[in-house]
Amino acid sequence: MSEKNFNAVTLIRKKRDGKKLSAEEIEYLVRAYTTDRIPDYQMSAFLMASFLNGLNREEAAALTGSMLTSGIVVDLSDLQGKKVDKHSTGGVGDKLSLILAPIVASCGVPVPMISGRGLGHTGGTLDKLESIPGFKVDITLDRYKEIIGRHNLVLAGQTEEIAPADKRLYALRDVTATVESIPLIAGSIMSKKLAEGIDALVLDVKFGSGAFMKDHADAMTLAETLVGIGEEFGKETIAYLTSMEQPLGYAVGNWLEVKESIESLNGNGPEDVMEITHLLAGTMIYLGNKAASTEEGIEMSRKAVQDGSAMQKWIDIVEEHGGDTDVIIDPDSYRSAQFVEPVKAEASGTITEMDAFAMGMVSVELGAGRKAKEEDVDPAAGFILYKKIGDSVKAGETFAELHTNKKDVMKTAKEGMKRAITIENRNVKPLKMITHRVDKDGIHEYPG
């Protein structure tokens, strides 16, 4: 699109007054900002006006498109088959990418996966991958194409070439209180995913205490916005709303989660982890045209775990990325934190609630996440849960085990974990892990 010269003040005023901007006007703002022709203060005003008045579906798609075309869009058209990725809006203990990517690739669907680092209380796939000794996520575009061509799977970090406008806008949103806006979040996520060279996308939109969207209705609006943008760009997009009311699985922390994903690929995964993994993997297999339905895809996903083909794919991809496969074959032989201590329940009863956000913050305190952008994470730090919502505990019984290399944080971390659980003398219903599917035809209760 050839760029017209608009007046930034006029566009800010238009959005401030609740009017709709055209795709050209949004394109101008993003282009001019990323080429330093609009200063931070004007872009901040536009972001706040968008935050307060919202962006409709066309505006969100225009924003996504301008951020997408600020960088390169990887061309994987030489590679046979429909390329399908998955994105999660983030949570605590969310190691699903590590399990489903090799499952889906072993079923013949190419998975180009560009992941991020931990953000706030949530973990990130890149930090988890880097806890495997030798595993390299910083690769060139040529290498990216070479790896996916060879294995149907590549696991990489975001490069400077992918959606650079999002990087600048995200940094500005971070310091102008404009992060928590559904269209801005959706545009940010989709601009990066659409740059990967995908044909279709599965989204895991989390709700609950450990999610960015605590509220189910907000998560639903985010899911609808993400699906709308995907479809606008001609990519089949299916989203599921899944529970983040407690950490996923039992392990939280980078290497601890890699270990749990290895157990999962070996057929011993936690029930909640495997329920969502098989659904997302099955949907990806269906979108990749290797199954006639999601249900058939789920069956193929289960089989890939049972017959060991997903595990073999995982070993191959770890080796290709320079990782040490001995620790994948024998994870207990490798890496443990210097200080490992139990956390004991203070009362007897049933665990009725877990504050997954607070638990995520405990994992950051232990060293598994970052308090400042430039900090390194400690791959060995985190915690293992022994109990989850609905389980009964006795006073003095261990419900979690903390792992850290920083002895001085142990006391506050234990207190944080104790505060994060609610023990009562009543029973609770099992959590419903998946509530809805959102696709181009609308919102459907899950299971239907």
Site string for ligand URA, 158-177 (x = CB under 6 A): ------------x-------
Does residue 166 carry a catalytic annotation?
yes
Binding to ligand URA by residue 185, rule CB under 6 A? yes
351 CA to centre of own chain: 27
Residue range at the interface with ligand URA (CB under 6 A); choices 36-44, 178-186, 260-268, 395-403 = 178-186
Is 192 part of the annotated catalytic residue set?
Answer: yes
Of 14, 15, 86, 87, the active-site residue reads 87
User: HSE-up of 384 (CA within 13 Å, CB side)?
Assistant: 16
Contact segment (CB under 6 A) with ligand URA among 28-36, 181-189, 196-204, 286-294 equals 181-189
- Sheet containing strand 84-88, edge to edge, reads 84-88, 200-207, 236-243, 434-439, 442-445
Q: In angstroms, what is the minimal distance from the CB of 77 to ligand URA?
A: 25
Cβ atoms of residues 308 and 142 within 8 Å: no
Q: Which stretch binds ligand URA (CB under 6 A): 185-193, 346-354, 368-376, 427-435?
A: 185-193
Interface with ligand URA (CB under 6 A), residue from 188, 237, 261, 294: 188
Task: Check: CB of residue 64 under 8 Å from CB of residue 194.
Answer: yes
Task: Give whichever of 84 and 184 is closer to ligand URA, judged by the CB atom.
Answer: 184
Rounded to a whole number of angstroms, the minimum distance from the CB of residue 27 to ligand URA is 19
Contacts (Cβ under 8 Å, ≥6 apart) of 178: 44, 47, 48, 50, 51, 172, 184
- Return the number of the residue (185 or 280) whose C-beta is nearest ligand URA: 185
Measured from the CB atom, the residue of 179 and 340 that comes closer to ligand URA is 179
Give yes or no for residue 69 binding ligand URA (CB under 6 A): no
Beta bridge partners of 237: 201
Q: Which of residues 200-259 bind ligand URA (CB under 6 A)?
A: none
Considering only 61, 165, 189, 256, the residue that binds ligand URA (CB under 6 A) is 189
Sequence-distant (≥ 6) Cβ neighbours of residue 77 within 8 angstroms:
none
- Could you give the maximum distance between any two Cα atoms of the chain, in Å? 69
CB 369 within 8 A of CB 377: yes
Is the peptide bond preceding residue 447 cis, with omega within 30 degrees of 0? yes
To the query of whether residue 259 is one of the catalytic residues in this protein, the response is: no
444 annotated active-site: no
| Identity of the residue, 52 or 395, whose beta carbon is nearer to ligand URA in the bound complex | 52
Q: Smallest distance from the beta carbon of 176 to ligand URA, in angstroms?
A: 13
Cβ proximity to ligand URA: between 184 and 361 the closer is 184
How crowded is the C-beta side of 210, counted as CA atoms within 13 Å?
Answer: 28
Do residues 279 and 294 lie in contact, with contact meaning Cβ atoms separated by under 8 Å? yes
CA distances from 160 to 141, 170, 174, 194 (A): 11, 14, 19, 15
Residues with catalytic roles:
87, 166, 173, 188, 192
The footprint of ligand URA (CB under 6 A) covers 170, 179, 184-185, 188-189
